[in-house]
């Protein structure tokens, strides 16, 4: 049977792609951020996952305001990115794990989640940049399954609903008859607001409490409404929903192997966690 070996949660700011393209990994502004991924890469080299389930939010490359599903799962043979206007170079295509994709879709629908299944799907920086941070040679030794959560257009799914989605994903992977070793990668956040009167808003105290809660009290953030989360983290900080879904997929107990938190990355609080399933 398939097994989830652990999870990684991290930020996905477009400026990261620019820094990678310009070779700024040792620049004093960027070095604390990029150095945080070294222990994660060592762990990946040791554990050798076969497939990555990437939980992320699309920013308009694949879905736009006229058609914005609450939850979508990719079931394509491969996934490519395209120019989003950020000047980020296009990355090599990602091979899809279609068998696992359809199993997840069928299991989630059976669990009463209304899923949009995508047999063609473009993936944006929220997907590609975290993958490039984990495998900087961009040779992708893994297959992927994209899981997209709407954090762009109201109404958004609640934190509790995203937690339950993660739990359902965990059950679905565990029931897959293959022998895949699965990594769950949740991308987004942490606190940041890119526009409006609170542009540049960062809430370090809440971010760190949220990160601790994923180990000590993982459902802590589910007690907040979407509006409360926006108030505490900024309009884009609600992307922590992907972190919640990732943590829920890992099961009841996890072991924290590594963490990093760095401000600022393009007016964003950048977090990183490596959690191993127990």
Q: 95-114 pLDDT, tens per residue?
A: 999 999 999 999 999 999 99
Give per-residue pLDDT as tens, 44-92: 999 999 999 999 999 988 999 899 999 999 999 999 998 888 888 889 9
pLDDT band at 278; cut points 50, 70, 90 = confident
The larger pLDDT score, comparing residue 59 to residue 192, is at 59
Predicted confidence (pLDDT) at residue 30 exceeds the cutoff of 80? yes
pLDDT averaged over the chain? 94
Which one from 12, 125, 258, 262 is the annotated catalytic residue? 125
Share of the chain above pLDDT 90, in %: 83
125 is catalytic: yes
Catalytic residue list contains 192: yes
- The structural domain count of the chain equals 1
The model carries a pTM of: 0.96
Tell me if 157 sits within 8 A of 81, measured CB to CB. no
| Residue in 12, 59, 103, 192 annotated catalytic | 192
Residue 268: which pLDDT band, with cuts at 50, 70 and 90? Answer: confident
CA distance 197 to 199: 6
Contact between 10 and 187 (Cβ < 8 Å): yes
Q: Note down the domain range covering 218.
A: 3-277
What's the CATH code of the domain at 51?
3.40.830.10
CB 229 within 8 A of CB 221: yes
> Cis before residue 264, ω within 30 degrees of 0?
yes
């Amino acid at each position: 049977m398939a097994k989830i070996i652990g999870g990684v949660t991290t930020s996905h700011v477009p400026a990261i792609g620019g820094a990678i393209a310009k070779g700024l990994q040792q620049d004093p502004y960027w070095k604390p951020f990029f150095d945080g991924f070294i222990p994660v890469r060592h762990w990946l080299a040791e554990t050798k996952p076969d497939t990555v389930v990437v939980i992320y939010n699309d920013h308009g490359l694949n879905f736009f305001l006229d058609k914005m599903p609450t939850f979508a799962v990719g079931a394509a043979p491969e996934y490519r990115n395209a120019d989003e206007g950020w000047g980020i170079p296009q990355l090599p295509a990602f091979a899809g794990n279609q068998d696992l994709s359809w199993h997840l879709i069928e299991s989630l629908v059976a669990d009463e989640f209304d899923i949009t299944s995508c047999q063609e799907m473009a993936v944006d920086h929220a997907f590609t940049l975290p993958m490039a941070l984990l495998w900087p040679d961009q040779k992708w030794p893994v297959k992927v399954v994209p899981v997209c959560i709407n954090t762009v257009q109201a109404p958004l799914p609640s934190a509790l609903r995203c937690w339950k989605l993660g739990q359902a994903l965990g059950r679905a992977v565990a029931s897959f008859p293959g022998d895949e070793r699965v990594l769950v990668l949740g991308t987004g956040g942490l606190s940041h607001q890119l526009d409006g009167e609170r542009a540049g808003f960062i809430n370090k105290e809440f971010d760190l409490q949220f990160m601790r809660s994923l180990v000590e009290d993982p459902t802590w953030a589910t007690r907040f409404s979407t509006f409360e989360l926006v108030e505490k983290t900024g309009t884009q900080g609600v992307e922590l929903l992907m972190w919640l879904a990732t943590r829920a997929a890992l099961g009841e107990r996890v072991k924290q192997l590594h963490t990093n938190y760095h401000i600022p990355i393009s007016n964003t609080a950048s977090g990183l966690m490596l959690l191993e399933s127990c």
